[in-house]
Amino acid sequence: MTMLALWSYTVDSGRTEEQDLTGWTVEAADGTVGHVDREAAPHGMRHLVVDTGVWVFGRSAVVPVGAVTTVDPAERRVTLACTRDQVKDAPRFRTDSETMNHEYLSAVGDYYARLAARGTTPA
């Protein structure tokens, strides 16, 4: 997966531009992660902010949209190519301002790109 592809939905994900994913369930390869709190695209780095609820002690996670494999409008569900632990182990999201910070988003992108390089997320 190229770094640019990390920040774009795959053509076959089922995502359409008019869809607002806020509130949709987020599923990893091995179970529910949480729900979409919001979507943002600063610096062309489109990502989801996922509220993990109590699963990761109430913290949120930033996931590049390139990790999304399926968007299911009937179920209001977003499926990721990674596991729950991989989402949990991503660079820690602390403040809302980080979703606008190029350096932080680059670190998130590097993390997910390494997963793709190891073959743990689709290319």
Residue whose token pair is 């932080």? 104
Q: Which residues pair with 27 in a beta bridge?
A: 32, 79
Closest CA to 108 of 46, 62, 70, 50: 62
- Res 96: pLDDT: 81
How confident is the prediction along the chain (123 residues), in pLDDT tens digits per residue?
Answer: 556 689 999 999 999 988 999 999 999 999 999 999 999 999 999 999 999 886 656 688 999 999 999 999 999 999 999 999 999 999 988 888 888 899 999 999 999 999 987 765 544
pLDDT at 120: 56
pTM of the entire predicted model: 0.88
d(CA 52, CA 57) in angstroms, rounded, equals: 8
